[in-house]
């Protein structure tokens, strides 16, 4: 029993949980239970207050609502790390920033190379630019204390900026037509958050009420509602007036919900790739090749090259007690796109089946390759003490 408790509390468990719900979704979608699985995800839920009404199927409540909470958690982590954590100086931020840029630019270029002639397919250019931090860190933790803490911190820092890049991409490229009135309401909410922060108010209920109104405003505005999460997080005070930690307490309380509920549910809702009637040729389509090569090759090459150049130019420093061979192993793991890639795929193609779900299968293949190759590469590297 104690071993089970220790495993659940370990840093590898979130990755195992994501794998479990991914496999479960695949089994349900490709078995006699496919109708039940699909119908469950399409159960309509809604709320109405006067003329305001929001009715969506369950899968959109997950993708628009629960993921907004995930981005809120990312925003809290980002604010703390920049103000007081490992990213509180330009020098400390430079390596993960350059790495994140490379990890977005190179995969996007690879995807565009395969799909530049198809405007609809090209909408998915951002799919291979994402990294699933829960999976990547989980794979890294499987190697135990062989991995220096500096490499783990590098991966976590890179993931923060990678997610920030995803947020910017969503805001700029996956926003529909704007509603002026809803945008005005959203701006009022931002001003209200500013006032709460300015006067150092640390009552959680105030922030919850404003955040909910803000989320609804963003949802109705045409800007993706998940952005409400990260913007709200940036206005959360670090401490109470008495000097007690406030932001970290919220993050601490939220982390188990994100790790053990939100991300697994998201994986369950989005990983159900229909393989029954899939034409094998679809996996060699331009979209699938762009995703697989973009994630598996583009991410590791882009992250490593941009890191290498920034270090050689003196703009950044190699993580302590590491060399470039070891750094490259972590770069391979950044190709695990999984949940974040699924999320952007849903925005790019509006969950269309025009590619016969080969786009989602490509994400699974590339993420699996990155996880397996990255794991064994690092395992071999750390067996050789001279590496």
Residue 348 belongs to domain with CATH number:
1.20.1530.10
Give the pLDDT score at 356: 66
Query: Quick check: helix, strand or coil at residue 241?
Result: coil
Give the pLDDT score at 387: 44
List, for the chain, all residue ranges whose pLDDT scores fall below the cut of 50. Answer: 386-387
What are 181-189's contacts with CB under 8 Å, separation 24+?
A: 182/217, 182/218, 182/220, 182/221, 182/222, 183/217, 183/221, 183/223, 185/213, 185/217, 185/220, 185/221, 186/214, 186/217, 186/218, 186/221, 186/223, 186/228, 189/213, 189/214, 189/217
Give the pLDDT score at 53: 74
Mutual angle of helices 338-349 and 149-173, in 10-degree steps: 10
| 81 within 8 A of 87, measured Cβ to Cβ | yes
**243 Rama class: left (phi>0) / alpha (psi -120 to 50) / beta:** left
Q: How many domains does the chain have?
A: 1
Q: Flag whether 204 is in a domain.
A: no
Q: Flag whether 274 is in a domain.
A: no
pLDDT, one tens digit per residue, over 127-165 is 999 888 777 877 777 776 778 878 888 887 888 788 778
Give the pLDDT score at 233: 93
| 186 within 8 A of 217, measured Cβ to Cβ | yes
Q: Flag whether 223 is in a domain.
A: no
- State both tokens at 238: 């670090």
Q: Flag whether 323 is in a domain.
A: yes
Q: Flag whether 202 is in a domain.
A: no
Residue 359: give the domain boundaries. Answer: 95-164+238-267+290-382
């Amino acid at each position: 029993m104690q071993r089970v408790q220790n495993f659940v509390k370990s840093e590898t468990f979130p990755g195992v949980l994501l794998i479990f719900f991914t496999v479960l979704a695949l089994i349900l979608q490709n078995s006699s239970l496919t109708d039940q699985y699909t119908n469950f995800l399409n159960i309509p839920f809604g709320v109405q207050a006067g003329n305001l009404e929001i009715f969506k199927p369950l899968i959109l409540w997950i993708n628009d609502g629960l993921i907004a909470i995930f981005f809120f958690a990312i925003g809290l982590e980002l604010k703390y790390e920049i103000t007081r954590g490992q990213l509180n100086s330009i020098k400390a931020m430079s390596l993960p920033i350059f790495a994140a840029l490379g990890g977005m630019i190179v995969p996007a270029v690879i995807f565009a190379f395969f799909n530049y002639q198809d405007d609809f397919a090209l909408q998915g250019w951002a799919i291979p630019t994402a990294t699933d931090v829960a999976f990547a860190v989980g794979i890294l933790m499987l190697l135990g204390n062989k991995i220096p803490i500096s490499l783990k911190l590098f991966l976590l820092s890179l993931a923060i900026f990678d997610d920030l890049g995803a947020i910017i991409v969503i805001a700029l490229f996956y926003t529909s037509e704007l509603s002026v009135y809803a945008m005005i309401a959203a701006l009022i909410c931002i001003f209200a958050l500013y006032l709460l922060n300015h006067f150092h108010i640390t009552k959680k209920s105030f922030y919850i009420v404003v955040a909910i109104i803000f989320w609804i405003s963003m949802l109705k505005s045409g800007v993706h509602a998940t952005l409400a999460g990260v913007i709200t997080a940036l206005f959360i005070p670090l401490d109470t007036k008495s000097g007690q930690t406030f932001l970290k307490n919220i993050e601490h309380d939220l982390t188990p919900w994100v790790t053990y509920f939100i991300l697994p549910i998201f994986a369950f809702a989005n990983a159900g790739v229909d393989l029954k009637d899939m034409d094998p040729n679809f996996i060699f389509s331009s979209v699938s090749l762009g995703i697989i090569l973009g994630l598996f090759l583009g991410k590791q090459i882009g992250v490593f090259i941009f890191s290498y150049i920034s270090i050689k130019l003196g703009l950044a420093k190699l993580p302590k007690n590491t060399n470039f061979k070891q750094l490259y192993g972590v770069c391979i793991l950044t190709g695990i796109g999984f949940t974040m890639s699924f999320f952007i795929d849903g925005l790019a193609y509006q969950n269309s089946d025009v590619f016969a779900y080969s786009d989602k299968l490509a994400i699974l293949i590339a993420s699996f390759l990155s996880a397996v190759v990255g794991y064994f590469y690092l395992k071999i590297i750390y067996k050789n003490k001279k590496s």
